[in-house]
Structure 1
Amino acid sequence: MEGITALDYILLPFYLWLIYRVAYYYRDKFYPEGHAYRPYFIPGLTAKIFGAIFISMFYWYYYGGGDSYTFFVHSRVINSTFLSAPDTWLRLMTHQADDQNLTDSMALSQMYWYNDVASYTVARVGAFLGLFCFTQYLIINVLVAVISFNGIWLLFICFAQQYTHLIKKIAIAILFMPGPTVWGSGLYKDSLCMFAIGCLCYSAYILFEKKNFRFILIVLLIISILLLVFIKAYIIAMLLPAMILKIILVYKKKTSARFGGRVKFYILLGIMSIGAVFAAKKIISSITITPEDVIETIQHQKDYLLRVSLAQDGSAYNLGDFDPSINGILKMFIPAVNVTLFRPYPWESKSLIQLFNSSESTGVLLLTLYLLFTRNPFKTLKNIYTDPNLIMCLTFTLLFAFIVGVSTYNFGSLSRYKIPCTPFYMLFLMILIFKDKPEAKTLETLEEPALNHPLT
């Protein structure tokens, strides 16, 4: 089964024309001339589309496949039944295939990842998009990039509303970081996760902090959570507590300024804590996976990726065996966070793609060192303590970077797995570094920029 074909190149200009026509209409309608967000909309979309085309072509012509191609193969198998056996197509799309049915069985025999819910979810998304583009590999990747951009754009709006004097820095952190732009754009789990993360943060911000309760935002919140649960549940397991902590701190700041506010805050905190305990018990009782299973999975994944890395491209790193004890976690915490955020170092790069990844990690490291050595540490700690957004970003980054660092052991895989925390860590750095260096404000930034957005 072929990946990129001549039909891809024939259809690509038409789909790009259609996408940009809709994008320019949307931009002109919601972000007219002079609007603070307008300069970043089309460039942000273009970066995602370019990232999808680049990584699709790179993996197809250089490696002859990759995960994106395997997802596509599953998508094409699903859609091959659309006209000849629509009942089979529906069962495949709903993950209800009957192996006693001949057509279902033939399709299942060609899909290695059918029983992997996370991977098969991505394949089903690809199959659905394929209905609108003749199931062509390059076009599907571009459409996924557009979907991913929509979530990332909402994440940008979420923070741009709160830091109207730092919109350019927010755009760099969220829209234009190389890793998320490339690895979070094609037909990958990570692209759909980035979409869900952006939608989740935006929906929670508008619903619970701005108290603008709209049905579409509730639906978006639920879809985002379900998408993350199906594809990469560990992301929601670390992001949701950080977001809840932020919401609690926001309410604390709002209520502490009024008489009796602190009492109300602690009552609210107690209610939310009790609710969280009951919810956690309910979730745990409905899941058969135990903490021992999670540790065993981390160990197996680490061993597998390390073995493959050493046997193939030599892009392995080794932090030692994962010890789930308190002392073991503390011992490995800093090395794991370091490898996720700041490695591979330039001298560890053994291929062109690793050199690309190291350029981003080196830039992040230099920015971190700039913050540490040019800013008053006491003022920095005070800024973190008084800003719920910074606390959320740092909490999620550290938790996520640790889990990814101790379970990957391969720089190639790490470059993809770490992208959910990249925007949050970059936001953390940008806000702390440039908080006291405001950009020039336009009329729109001084007003309420997101009032023009269709979801607010």
Structure 2
Amino acid sequence: MDYRDFVVFPIVVAIIYLVAYTLRPSVTDEVTRRYFFPALTVKIAGALIVGLVYQFYYGGGDTFNYHTYGSRYVWEAFWESPMTGFKLIFNNGYDYNGVYKYASKIPFFRDPPSYNIVKIAAICDLFTFSCYSATAALFAAFCFVGMWQFFLTFYEQYPHLHKGLAIATFFIPSVFFWGSGLLKDTITLGCLGIATFQIYKIFIVRQPSLSRITMLLLSFYGLYAIKIYILLTFLPAAILWVFLFNLRTIRSQAIRTIVFPFVLGIAGALAYFATLKASEDNPKYAISSLARTAQETAYDIRFQTGKDAGSGYTLGELDGTLGSMLALAPQAINVSIFRPYLWEARNPFMILSALESFALLLTTLYLLWKRNLQVFSALLSPNIFFCLLFSLTFAFAVGVSTYNFGTLVRYKIPLMPFFVVGLMLMLDYSNRDRNVEVLEPTEY
């Protein structure tokens, strides 16, 4: 921290709140207005706390490196020569021509996903005079925009669940902490929220517009450029979500029952080809390479971050084949959502994560034990199917490729709002009158 954090940060936060105050009437109603500023405040506070934790507890780390050894060099380049700054912003991470003086100091320069975060931070630095806390606040504000849209996606359909939806979206501790700072997770979580809302508006509510399509494409690009595996797990679930919602247009229950398997097949095929297309520029995430990538990532993360910290875990042997990876799916899903267990916690942050996981475990067991019949029939609800398909698929992806609890608590935050919303909708479904048709959605 330096003097800029005490001068620039309050000014930037004041501007964020002024803009939010101006926009609030157009994005809230009498019910949701009460959550708007608390949710924004939690995000900004989370951004500030993440910076303090990394500086004084960890003594450095990703958020520190993205700024101090990344965006600040780009900001300095702009002051010396705007042309050099623009070259760094639009650089693909491999061309040192004319930028070597600065690029050679940036350890993430040849790592495109990480360098994309550096570039976003550098653009923010132009408005914050390279003040870390102010730039982090802008990251948090972007994520808030995305998560507010995620909240509205389900609030518009289930207005009576507003309190639970607000908690699931904004106030899960691990999500507002790790999803608020100057990190990849903040940008990707915001993009995920925007993509969910725009898909809902364009393909389900059928209110397409040029601005909505543009926002959807930009959110997809953000996921693709920073964490492509989030996009690869989100696309299949989103496509199935849209297909299941549109299946309602067939009024005959008998015909819907017959058509349902074909819809799943077509949606599955589209999802498969969408996944192929999304990964074609990155061989590591091609279908044929996923198992090997998962193996290398899991062992690299455990070696680099967990060998001496007592936070490593193992699910079994990964030999780089798809079969060995799929065989670990139940354990991978369990570790992502319900672990670390209380007795596995080794430090204060693991204890907090363990308490959160324990609460999710109790809630899930309650649903499965007390309301098992309704739970399984509720899976035919498009919203529940979408939330659980994405969250469980993502839980498998990160659980099988991380092997370190400290890293996992960050990597898994995209699934948490979806999983908790899914549980909430299942509970709501089981409390409804059983005469309500399964595929009939709540009124918009």
The match for 1:235 is 230
Q: Are 1:424 and 2:421 an aligned pair? A: no
Q: Are 1:79 and 2:75 an aligned pair? A: yes
Q: For residues 430 and 246 of structure 2, what CA distance do their matches in structure 1 show?
A: 24
Query: Structure 1 residues 366, 268: closer, same or farther in 2, change over 3 A?
Result: closer
TM superposition shift of 1:7: 2.0
TM superposition shift of 1:179: 1.1
State the identity as a percent: 34
After the TM superposition, which of the residue ranges 306-315 and 247-256 deviates more from structure 2?
A: 306-315
The match for 2:439 is none
After the TM superposition, which of the residue ranges 270-279 and 66-75 deviates more from structure 2?
A: 270-279
TM superposition shift of 1:90: 0.7
The match for 1:360 is 356
TM superposition shift of 1:405: 0.6
The match for 2:5 is 8
Q: For residues 234 and 124 of structure 2, what CA distance do their matches in structure 1 show?
A: 28
Match of 2:161 among 152, 166, 169: 166
TM superposition shift of 1:263: 9.3
TM superposition shift of 1:409: 0.8
Within-5 A mapping of 1:144-223: 144-223=139-218
Query: Structure 1 residues 340, 30: closer, same or farther in 2, change over 3 A?
Result: closer
The TM-score with structure 1 as length reference comes to: 0.88
CA contact 1:255–1:265 (8 Å) conserved in 2: no
Within-5 A mapping of 1:287-298: 287-289=282-284, 290-298=286-294
CA contact 1:255–1:262 (8 Å) conserved in 2: no
Structure of higher RCO (CA pairs closer than 8 Å, 6+ residues apart): 1
CA contact 1:166–1:435 (8 Å) conserved in 2: no
Q: For residues 117 and 2 of structure 2, what CA distance do their matches in structure 1 show?
A: 21
Q: For residues 241 and 265 of structure 1, what CA distance do their matches in structure 2 show?
A: 16
Q: For residues 342 and 277 of structure 1, what CA distance do their matches in structure 2 show?
A: 29
5+ unaligned residues in a row in structure 2: which ranges? 433-441
Q: Secondary structure at the match of 1:125?
A: helix
CA contact 2:236–2:268 (8 Å) conserved in 1: no
The match for 1:403 is 397
Within-5 A mapping of 1:19-418: 19-31=16-28, 35-73=30-68, 74-96=70-92, 98-101=95-98, 104-257=99-252, 287-289=282-284, 290-323=286-319, 328-375=324-371, 377-385=372-380, 387-418=381-412
Query: Structure 1 residues 38, 52: closer, same or farther in 2, change over 3 A?
Result: same
TM superposition shift of 1:26: 2.0
CA contact 2:240–2:268 (8 Å) conserved in 1: no
Query: Structure 1 residues 29, 211: closer, same or farther in 2, change over 3 A?
Result: closer
How many residues get paired?
Answer: 432
For residue 316 of structure 2, what is the amino acid of its counterpart? G
TM superposition shift of 1:148: 0.4
After the TM superposition, which of the residue ranges 167-176 and 296-305 deviates more from structure 2?
A: 296-305
Residues 163-191 of structure 1 deviation map (CA, whole Å, 9 limit, x = unaligned): 12211111111111111100011111110
TM superposition shift of 1:64: 1.8
Q: For residues 235 and 181 of structure 1, what CA distance do their matches in structure 2 show?
A: 18
For residue 26 of structure 1, what is the amino acid of its counterpart? L
Query: Structure 1 residues 279, 346: closer, same or farther in 2, change over 3 A?
Result: closer
Q: For residues 242 and 277 of structure 1, what CA distance do their matches in structure 2 show?
A: 11
Query: Structure 1 residues 172, 113: closer, same or farther in 2, change over 3 A?
Result: same
For residue 76 of structure 1, what is the amino acid of its counterpart? R
CA contact 2:292–2:321 (8 Å) conserved in 1: no
The match for 2:436 is none
Q: For residues 313 and 270 of structure 1, what CA distance do their matches in structure 2 show?
A: 45
For residue 308 of structure 2, what is the amino acid of its counterpart? Q
Query: Structure 1 residues 449, 79: closer, same or farther in 2, change over 3 A?
Result: farther
After the TM superposition, which of the residue ranges 113-122 and 6-15 deviates more from structure 2?
A: 6-15
Q: Secondary structure at the match of 1:186?
A: coil
CA contact 1:121–1:231 (8 Å) conserved in 2: yes
TM superposition shift of 1:297: 2.3
The TM-score with structure 2 as length reference comes to: 0.90
TM superposition shift of 1:193: 0.5
TM superposition shift of 1:237: 0.7
For residue 427 of structure 1, what is the amino acid of its counterpart? V
TM superposition shift of 1:331: 3.4
For residue 234 of structure 1, what is the amino acid of its counterpart? Y
TM superposition shift of 1:17: 2.1
TM superposition shift of 1:52: 0.8
5+ unaligned residues in a row in structure 1: which ranges? 439-447, 451-456
Indicate the RMSD between aligned Cα atoms, in angstroms. Answer: 2.6
